[in-house]
Structure 1
Amino acid sequence: MEDVFYESQQQASGNATSSVSAIDPFGLSSGFGPSFQRHRGLLRDPSKLPLFAEATHTVATQEGVYADITIDPRLATFDGLRTTMAQLDALNVTHLTQYRHVIGGLVPFHNIAGVAEMESVRVLRASQARVVPVADASVDKEAASAREMYGVNGSTVRCVGVLSDSFNNTRNFQDDIDVVAETDTADGNDEGARIMRQVHEALPGLRSFAFNTALHGQAAFAAGIESLTEQTGCNVLVDHVTVLQEPFFADSVIAEAIDTVAAKNTSYFSAAGGFDAAGLFETYEDSGVSETVSLFGRSLPYTWHKFSSTSDFDLPIRIAANTTATLVLNWADPYVSAAGESSGGALTDLDLFLFTPDGADVLASGISSNKGADPIEIAYFTNDGPGEDFIVRVGKYITHNASTSEADFESPDPDHIGLVGFSVIDVHGHMKGPTQYGHSTAAGASAVEAPQTEGPLNFPLLYDATGQRLPEVTYRPTAGFASADAAQVVALAAMIRESDEALTPTEVNTVIQQTNASVTAALAALKDGSWRAAAAPGESAGAGDEGTSGDQQHDEEMLGTA
């Protein structure tokens, strides 16, 4: 199984079982890397926990860490789930939430080892979430005149649901809000309340808001989406969170929940973020260079990937001084957390490294044991300066036969890899690829506040819901409202739904897209029906459509299917 809390143990020890520390369960965790080493001893010094959580985007309390626990999909039956839930309860895992075969919960620090060793657990991964800050822009000026002109104020909209970090963590928002789930961590800055205020300025007649935290992992996030529609009746939803551990090349359980509510006529908007990110998507190529990397007193053998942009196994990047960067690597293998029982998980074990500019020293790494789990690695590095230049390497781990100690090269090479660096500066022009992944690219979602890129914004979908490789590339939706902030689009969507309750989410998106998110233009187009005439015959138009011709051409060339 993959266990990011002890992700070096299988490779460092050569064993299939976890090697854990009862005193400090993060002690062997290279995935948190030097960012954790900076705050080492957090279990003995609670004052260091917030620093660690902030540096690694890990959602934790003084008692434990929120995590997603992916169980063997074959055990996701009533009896199997009941047994697993009982075992987790016995280990004092609280806030349990289940969505398909993923279970979310708050895992006590001292019981991380126990959860990792459960027979049914395939992946144990901490919840790691970047909250997209809500813009300070007001949506009220144009909305006020439009309300008067077209007689809309939100009074007939059932509910607007918000998924964000927190709603009232700072105790500054006292309105009557239906809070489905709030966070109990110190991470909440009440971005959820900020977006509610902005939407309410545009729609003062709106009868109800509802809130669900998006910090507690993928299972809780997905369950919260459905709860906001089923329990509170919201038909417009918005989130402001990037979940770092979501797949690049498959739909996560969060994306599945979005598609479920979209099919029930709920409009879903996701603030994509990624303005500070750089990315690449390219063919995996063995460089022919093999080296050993010294970590934790062990020598770990790798063959390096050759980056197409540099024709070398070194990828130069820049990280500003006094900045923490996050590197996320995915490769084209099946995901256990996103797929059904037919998925056996990743076939190959790739690892991620950040080196000093001369390649001599490892500064950060993601080296979990991925075979049979998820093809995902995440590494963090806080740059204290003064130097700002570093190199990234991606290595294929060379396993060894336990009885003969001979190298095993049977693990297949993946055909493609994707890499996203948050707070990474692409000064060399080598990372101009996609930066968007996860639930903001779901078929039923509309991404807003997305950065402009020279090439495709999103990674292509390569695997279906069962973990099978798709026979051809399926293109993820392209953000249609990049220049508009989330509150503006959500308020406008609510106005459109109030004007015509029969419109589908795709039709709502079409109106917004055709009028460039202008409130007055959108309501005018609704009144005279011009938005329908502007849509091409047979066009399903809207941000929920899959792909664009530019993205399609680029990805076909990349995948060799053009």
Structure 2
Amino acid sequence: MKSALPFIAATLLSLSFHSVNAQIKGDPSFPGVAAGATVEKSSSTLSPDLQKLATPPKKAAAAIGKPIPPGVGEYTGYLQLKGNNVLVDVTAKEDIASAKAELQQLGATVISTYGRVISASIPISALPQLEGSATIRFVRPAYKPMHVGVRYAAAAGPKPAPVISQGDTAQLSYLARKQYRVNGSGVKVGVLSDSYNNLGTADIGVDHGELPGHGNPFGFKTPVQVLEDLDSGGTDEGRAMMEILHSVAPGSTLAFHTADKGQADFANGILQLASVGCSVIGDDVFYFAEPFFQDGILAQAVDEAKKRGVTYFSAAGNESIRSYTSPYRATNVEPLGPGFGTAHNFSGPGAPPRYFQPIYIPTGGIFITSFQWDQSSFTASGVGDSTDMDIYLLDNQGNIVAAGNSNNLASGDPIEVFGYQNLTKNVTFYLVIVKFAGIDPQNLKYILYDDALFYLTKPPIPGILTPSLVGHTKAAGAISVGAAYYQQTPPYGVNPPVLEGFSSVGGVPNYYDIEGNRIAPLIRKKPEIVAPDGVFTSFFNPFNETIPPGSYPQFFGTSAATPHAAGVAALMIDAQRLHTITPSQIKGVMESNTWGMVDPYTPGSATGFNFAAGYGLIKATGAVGEVKFPNAYVQALQLQPLCSPDPSKTRNFQITNPNPFEVQVSWFVIGSDQRGSFTMQPGDTTFSTTALYYRGGPLPVIAGITWQDNFEFPHLGLAYSTRAQCGKDSVSAANSDALGATTATGKSFAAGAKPTIAEVSPNPSTGLFRLYLSLDQPQNIILTLYSADGRELQTQRVAAATSVIDIDATAYRPGIYFLKIIQGSEVKTIKLMKQ
């Protein structure tokens, strides 16, 4: 290992420079004159890149209305061409079934539909026939998605057999398996990535023990379930992720679905994995046309999976702060000529205006960007945007070399995507953003993908080097995962751990909900956690780099971090045994069991949540240990009264949730029909009730809350309201309704009243039953076991019981028995079945 460290360090330093700084010295100013437009911009049903694909070059240039110099063209490497077909994402106008039928009549193969989007493979020759379609609103390429693995270095050293991820050590999951005797057994984990076995070598991984399957030498014989693989051309990054998963949770069963056949197919793949029993899913995919400022169809599918009980992990991305974010600054300047849009001013207030932003693209380098603004996306909500914005890339001579200039009013999406490969010696280019039609947006954002860098201008352009974590990884239902190189973690001698320089930073708001309504900026805490990367796999070499003899390739990127986190979730579910742990609980327990990490972009920052490293690097021993069966890890909620502006009309209460995860809570008022339920976030939440009267006289208001612990046992909290008036009285016992706590029927309610509940698991059992008590304080318990014919078999008296009592029935024959439980004045009988 030591001999390879200098090479690794050099590689990481290069990655860090291009990702963390994302800028280069220099302050070039645009020396040329922008070439004018020749014809008006097209209102085609096809995106500009599809128009070029389907039309001879001269016609294509006229169709988009901008001259393209000979020999220099837009990068098309992200188009997914399959022979004479191209993979597309189609937006239906209203009736998706009619749009689907029209595509099929043109010879297209419909792969999947989700919401308003159809993923399909269509003959290139059929594209012109979509113009003027009555059922189809817009067609764009299903851009080859970005997989967030990065270039790596190969590390020398003895080949382990099988290859085990070093991240298993860095996050202590190897110790968690040993200490708590778990391996993910009984848990199914799904992966979405490019491909599983396009290389045809999956069986080798099975035979060596890196994957489960019939030939696995360690007894993990259940093969990977492949729901849908990529037809061809994949790097098998999904299989590399599964090797990491198998290192962390070798007892888990695995399933795979490609994410590379369009957004609709990706969304359906998420739900298909959930439908076949995956309780944990991880992906490492981002589509350039995912909305930045609204939950698109992929985010919506993630949220639906969470509702079905799936804990969903998504790679945060590898763009660090390689983004430009700015309020839109309108001008009357038309840099591309009259009638082709007014420029956005890149300069801040008080600085000379700047309409051409310099961008560095090395010779041979690729620049891909997604440019968006804060309006609703039709594909996400059915409500389209109100502005047509365009973005152009110019060279030093003023030639437009690439553009994102579709008709956004026609497409309904405030999104422009384009790419460019620099095949010239010139490295300085300029971005121009113009408003072509519609109302002014409020905010703009684009992200630098691949090789482009910002210039460090004087004065610096405000808005560069801003968060880049966007798309479905910032969905409410996703756990977004950042990356730390495994050798820069506490088990390898570095504490606090160090964030990878490329790991994407969160903090990008949503401005619209999925109904298309403008909302107050919603910023979710993303990423939530960090997991290791830079680890060995047995085969994964997507960049075809030379691997030294006696070594294995290393897998860097948040793509590699994500399966480490998903594997820990599988261990947690295995440890909890009952499989009642929820995705929110897994997320909260993980967040509270980490090594804290500092924000590398905020000098002097302390550990704790930040938008670079979330809550820190996963500590698997803590997370698994906290939920180890039969521990109760859901702390009791607390209910207390608050003052009221007018106690004669309303009474106020506060619920405190001390857990690091959300809890489902129901509240009610005794003796009335006032009730409600909600998902309570960590911290304090208040609710109001109406004051009660009987025959003209006031009644005490006694509110209750109910929730379930991790054994699915209900708990109850009660509190008397207060008659204290805010700003006048103190909230004290003297003002409590407890002083007159008698209902209209004359029954008194004790201030500390609590339920007494018990359940048995496992039931049926081969001999040992366990009684689980849901008690907020110790109680004396009497337990009596009876045969089916009423004979008393055994009696236990347990003083100050709290949670779990063993009932040993190994000496009795299989059959039905009854357990009588006496807790104070409460009596309950439970039927037991001995197998």
User: Which TM-score tier does this pair reach, normalised by the shorter chain?
Assistant: 0.7 to 0.9
For 2:288, the equivalent position in structure 1 comes to 244
2:254 to 191, 209, 230: 209
- Kindly indicate whether residue 168 of structure 2 is the aligned counterpart of residue 140 of structure 1: yes
Give the structure with higher Rg (CA): 2
1:337 is paired with a residue of what secondary structure? helix
Give the letter for the 2:428 counterpart.
D
1:393 to 411, 425, 432: 432
Cα deviation, 1:148-187, whole Å, max 9, x if unaligned, reads 2101011121x1110000110101113422111111242x
- Kindly indicate whether residue 210 of structure 2 is the aligned counterpart of residue 183 of structure 1: no
Give the letter for the 2:449 counterpart.
F
1:61 to 79, 82, 92: 82
2:657 to 538, 558, 561: 538
1:84 to 70, 79, 99: 99
For 1:306 and 1:348, the matched residues in 2 are separated by: 17
1:447-462 equivalence runs, <5 A: 447-449=480-482, 457-462=506-511
For 1:535 and 1:32, the matched residues in 2 are separated by: 63
In structure 2, do the counterparts of structure 1 residues 308 and 67 end up closer, same or farther at CA, with 3 Å as the change threshold?
Answer: same
CA contact (8 A) 2:91 2:379 kept: yes
1:486 to 556, 562, 570: 562
1:285-434 equivalence runs, <5 A: 285-292=329-336, 301-308=340-347, 311-340=353-382, 343=383, 345-356=384-395, 358=396, 360-372=398-410, 373-397=412-436, 411-423=438-450, 424-428=452-456, 430=461, 431-434=464-467
CA contact (8 A) 1:33 1:381 kept: no
Give the letter for the 2:454 counterpart.
D
Give the letter for the 1:306 counterpart.
N
Give the letter for the 2:235 counterpart.
N
Give the letter for the 1:216 counterpart.
K
In structure 2, do the counterparts of structure 1 residues 184 and 33 end up closer, same or farther at CA, with 3 Å as the change threshold?
Answer: farther
For 1:35 and 1:248, the matched residues in 2 are separated by: 32
Give the letter for the 2:385 counterpart.
A
> Structure 1: where are the runs of 5+ without partners?
1-9, 41-51, 294-298, 399-410, 549-562
1:221 to 251, 260, 266: 266
CA contact (8 A) 2:86 2:141 kept: yes
TM-score (norm 2): 0.54
For 1:205 and 1:194, the matched residues in 2 are separated by: 17
For 1:524 and 1:61, the matched residues in 2 are separated by: 49
For 2:126, the equivalent position in structure 1 comes to 111
Give the letter for the 2:627 counterpart.
L
Count of matched residue positions in the alignment of Structure 1 and Structure 2: 494
**C-alpha displacement of 1:22:** 10
For 1:560, the equivalent position in structure 2 comes to none
For 1:153, the equivalent position in structure 2 comes to 183
2:269 is paired with a residue of what secondary structure? helix
CA contact (8 A) 2:280 2:312 kept: yes
1:28-47 equivalence runs, <5 A: 28=60
- Kindly indicate whether residue 474 of structure 2 is the aligned counterpart of residue 441 of structure 1: yes
For 1:541 and 1:279, the matched residues in 2 are separated by: 31
For 1:515, the equivalent position in structure 2 comes to 593
**C-alpha displacement of 1:16:** 4.4
For 2:137, the equivalent position in structure 1 comes to 122
- Kindly indicate whether residue 292 of structure 2 is the aligned counterpart of residue 173 of structure 1: no
For 2:651, the equivalent position in structure 1 comes to none
1:510 is paired with a residue of what secondary structure? helix
**C-alpha displacement of 1:145:** 3.1
For 1:466, the equivalent position in structure 2 comes to 515
Cα deviation, 1:65-120, whole Å, max 9, x if unaligned, reads 11111111x324xxxx1x32221111111143111221111111111122344211
For 2:70 and 2:174, the matched residues in 1 are separated by: 49
In structure 2, do the counterparts of structure 1 residues 209 and 300 end up closer, same or farther at CA, with 3 Å as the change threshold?
Answer: farther
> Structure 2: where are the runs of 5+ without partners?
1-36, 155-164, 204-212, 214-222, 484-499, 533-560, 595-617, 639-655, 664-678, 683-835
Q: 241-250 vs 442-451, which deviates more? A: 442-451
**C-alpha displacement of 1:490:** 0.8
**C-alpha displacement of 1:269:** 0.6
Q: 424-433 vs 97-106, which deviates more? A: 424-433
1:292 is paired with a residue of what secondary structure? coil
TM-score (norm 1): 0.79
For 2:435 and 2:83, the matched residues in 1 are separated by: 36
Cα deviation, 1:470-513, whole Å, max 9, x if unaligned, reads 2x122234111245411211110111111122221111112222
2:309 to 247, 265, 269: 265
In structure 2, do the counterparts of structure 1 residues 461 and 493 end up closer, same or farther at CA, with 3 Å as the change threshold?
Answer: same
Going by fraction, where is strand more abundant, 1 or 2?
2
CA contact (8 A) 1:59 1:185 kept: no
2:379 is paired with a residue of what secondary structure? coil
For 2:124 and 2:572, the matched residues in 1 are separated by: 48
For 1:124 and 1:95, the matched residues in 2 are separated by: 13
**C-alpha displacement of 1:380:** 1.0
In structure 2, do the counterparts of structure 1 residues 107 and 140 end up closer, same or farther at CA, with 3 Å as the change threshold?
Answer: same
For 2:515 and 2:343, the matched residues in 1 are separated by: 30
Cα deviation, 1:199-239, whole Å, max 9, x if unaligned, reads 11122212x21111111111101111001111x21010011
Q: 432-441 vs 359-368, which deviates more? A: 359-368
Cα deviation, 1:502-538, whole Å, max 9, x if unaligned, reads 2211111122222221122222333496975699942
2:333 is paired with a residue of what secondary structure? strand
Q: Which has the higher contact order (CA 8 A, sep 6+)?
A: 1
CA contact (8 A) 1:480 1:513 kept: yes
Give the letter for the 1:419 counterpart.
Y
- Kindly indicate whether residue 640 of structure 2 is the aligned counterpart of residue 524 of structure 1: no
Going by fraction, where is helix more abundant, 1 or 2?
1
For 1:138 and 1:93, the matched residues in 2 are separated by: 45
For 1:36 and 1:217, the matched residues in 2 are separated by: 32
Q: 447-456 vs 210-219, which deviates more? A: 447-456
For 2:662 and 2:322, the matched residues in 1 are separated by: 23
Cα deviation, 1:293-336, whole Å, max 9, x if unaligned, reads 5xxxxx86221001245752222222233210111110122211
- Kindly indicate whether residue 524 of structure 2 is the aligned counterpart of residue 476 of structure 1: yes
1:287 is paired with a residue of what secondary structure? coil
2:398 is paired with a residue of what secondary structure? coil
For 2:401 and 2:279, the matched residues in 1 are separated by: 46
In structure 2, do the counterparts of structure 1 residues 420 and 112 end up closer, same or farther at CA, with 3 Å as the change threshold?
Answer: same
CA contact (8 A) 2:92 2:138 kept: yes
For 1:155 and 1:380, the matched residues in 2 are separated by: 45
In structure 2, do the counterparts of structure 1 residues 146 and 124 end up closer, same or farther at CA, with 3 Å as the change threshold?
Answer: same
CA contact (8 A) 2:531 2:564 kept: no
- Kindly indicate whether residue 152 of structure 2 is the aligned counterpart of residue 131 of structure 1: no
Give the letter for the 1:246 counterpart.
E
For 1:461 and 1:436, the matched residues in 2 are separated by: 12
CA contact (8 A) 1:514 1:531 kept: no
In structure 2, do the counterparts of structure 1 residues 337 and 547 end up closer, same or farther at CA, with 3 Å as the change threshold?
Answer: farther
- The alignment-based identity, stated in percent, is 26
For 1:323 and 1:547, the matched residues in 2 are separated by: 46
Give the letter for the 1:197 counterpart.
E
For 1:387 and 1:538, the matched residues in 2 are separated by: 59
